[in-house]
Structure 1
Amino acid sequence: MLRLGGGVPLLGLAVAAAAVVAARLMGWWGLRAGFRLFIPEELARYRGGPGDPGLYLALLGRVYDVSSGRRHYEPGAHYSGFAGRDASRAFVTGDYSEGGLVDNVSGLTFSEMLILQHWLSFYEKNYVFVGRVIGRFYGEDGLPTPELAQVEAMITQGLEANKRELKEKQKFPPCNAEWSSTRGSRFWCSQKSGGVSRDWIGVPRKLYKPGAKEPHCVCVRTTGPPSDQTSDNPTHRNRGDLDHPHLGEYTGCPPLAITCSFPL
């Protein structure tokens, strides 16, 4: 499967980036001067072979000249199947068969749509946009179809879900965890666990998320007001988020221990 590099950004940067991306989506879908319209049969001529007029690929109906990345897309290269067509679905599934190299993205999840959005960002940054494919995502007038509008809506909803997830991760960072066939399991908290740096350590708790089959270990603040209250609220009990209704203690682990061990 194609992979994207880079780590998870900090919450503030992620929120700002999401807002910028959401604003740019309409720019991507809207009219742009100087672009061409391709029918699929015409685009199929741009596979970078001898006598072909160029090396293009399409993603969500947008066509890019990938000649500068020829070694990746030319005939015989690993991603040659993407050339001369819109194979949007394969960017997510990694299915490079003829049946998988298609533009039909129906049934993909919000998170999978975000993968496509990331790849759009990649091609916008690294290759030259040259036109649009008439068909699933653009009409004969070059304007977005209802199906593309649905994709855009799912990307926007995915970005919002990402923001909520990052916010929750700041509140309840995942625990550090290890397992050994001789010593069993161990969960522990530190000032950086689950990729979240903070000025507190916390204690391990089971977080029961609505809809999830199993809880997962998170680190929970033990002092100050709950995250949804202000510090000047006189009613809080100085227990941090310990009283959150979706949290549970680990049996056999002291309530305020920063490490919970479960021998075999």
Structure 2
Amino acid sequence: MASHEAGPPPPAVEAATITSPINLILLALLFVLVYFRLRPAAPQTLPKAPDPIVFRTFAPPDLKPFNGEGNMPVYLAVRGKVFDVTSGRNFYGPGGPYENFAGRDATRGLACGSFDEDMLTKDLEGPLDDLKGLGVDELQALQDWEDRFTEKYLVVGKLISVGEKQMSAA
């Protein structure tokens, strides 16, 4: 008969259970990942809508305060249309290259390609600029500016003389 030597018993194989420490860590990690993936997102809030702009009639003195100073909107008029150019405050507001046009009728200055103060109507109580003396090239330049403003900015009103405004109020 063959003799079997009795030696140490073979090592016991431990059965892997769900409660082993590594499995508990992995399970916790899985739950954390699922939570962050499926948790409800914070409700998105929309930015406050800007105040509505009402189309109105302006006389030159009424337009003057809309020059961007004191957080006022920036308006300018071109050929009787009043444009809200507030989004271009860097150009038309205080300190901008076109600041002379803010709160004013910019028609002649744009037509002549001049930003000088003498291109602006001095007498705000008088009649509007009739554009006499402008040549074909200047009128074309003015049309180009008007088209650009119409594409880019909102028309918020029309410019009339003080006399017209008084007649319409009566």
- TM-score past 0.5 threshold: yes
Cα deviation for residue 139 of structure 1 reads 4.1
Aligned with residue 109 of structure 1, among 123, 131, 135: 135
Identify unmatched segments of 5+ residues in structure 2: 1-53, 122-127
Cα deviation for residue 129 of structure 1 reads 0.3
Larger RCO: 1 or 2 (CA < 8 Å, sep 6+):
2
Cα deviation for residue 140 of structure 1 reads 3.6
Cα deviation for residue 99 of structure 1 reads 1.4
Cα deviation for residue 123 of structure 1 reads 0.7
Aligned with residue 150 of structure 2, among 113, 118, 124: 124
Q: For residue 206 of structure 1, what is the aligned residue in structure 2?
A: none
| CA RMSD between the two structures | 2.4
Q: For residue 168 of structure 1, what is the aligned residue in structure 2?
A: none
Which amino acid in the other structure matches residue 147 of structure 2?
S
Matched residues in 2 for 1:116 and 1:71: separation? 22
Matched residues in 2 for 1:71 and 1:101: separation? 20
Q: Is the 8 A contact 2:83 2:149 kept in 1?
A: yes
Say how many residue pairs are matched.
Answer: 107
Distance 1:69 1:62, change over 3 A: same
Q: For residue 18 of structure 2, what is the aligned residue in structure 1?
A: none
Is structure 2 residue 99 aligned with structure 1 residue 80?
Answer: yes
Cα deviation for residue 59 of structure 1 reads 0.4
Identify unmatched segments of 5+ residues in structure 1: 1-33, 144-264
Matched residues in 2 for 1:51 and 1:124: separation? 24
Per-residue CA distance 1:181-215 (angstroms, 9 max, x = gap): xxxxxxxxxxxxxxxxxxxxxxxxxxxxxxxxxxx
Instruction: Give the 3-state SS of the residue equivalent to 1:99 in structure 2.
Output: helix
Q: For residue 94 of structure 1, what is the aligned residue in structure 2?
A: 113
Q: Which of the pair has more CA radius of gyration?
A: 2
Q: Is the 8 A contact 2:82 2:156 kept in 1?
A: yes
Percent of pairs with identical residues: 37
Q: For residue 58 of structure 1, what is the aligned residue in structure 2?
A: 77
Instruction: Give the 3-state SS of the residue equivalent to 2:69 in structure 1.
Output: coil
Cα deviation for residue 101 of structure 1 reads 2.2
Q: Is the 8 A contact 1:95 1:101 kept in 2?
A: no
Aligned with residue 44 of structure 1, among 64, 71, 78: 64
Q: Is the 8 A contact 1:49 1:74 kept in 2?
A: yes
State TM-score, norm by structure 1.
Answer: 0.37
Q: For residue 68 of structure 1, what is the aligned residue in structure 2?
A: 87
Matched residues in 2 for 1:99 and 1:82: separation? 11
Instruction: Give the 3-state SS of the residue equivalent to 1:117 in structure 2.
Output: helix
Instruction: Give the 3-state SS of the residue equivalent to 2:119 in structure 1.
Output: coil
Instruction: Give the 3-state SS of the residue equivalent to 2:87 in structure 1.
Output: helix
Cα deviation for residue 51 of structure 1 reads 4.6
- Higher normalized strand content (fraction of residues): 1
Moved over 6 A (4+): none
Q: Is the 8 A contact 1:74 1:83 kept in 2?
A: yes
State TM-score, norm by structure 2.
Answer: 0.56
Instruction: Give the 3-state SS of the residue equivalent to 1:58 in structure 2.
Output: strand
Cα deviation for residue 61 of structure 1 reads 1.4
Distance 1:118 1:139, change over 3 A: farther
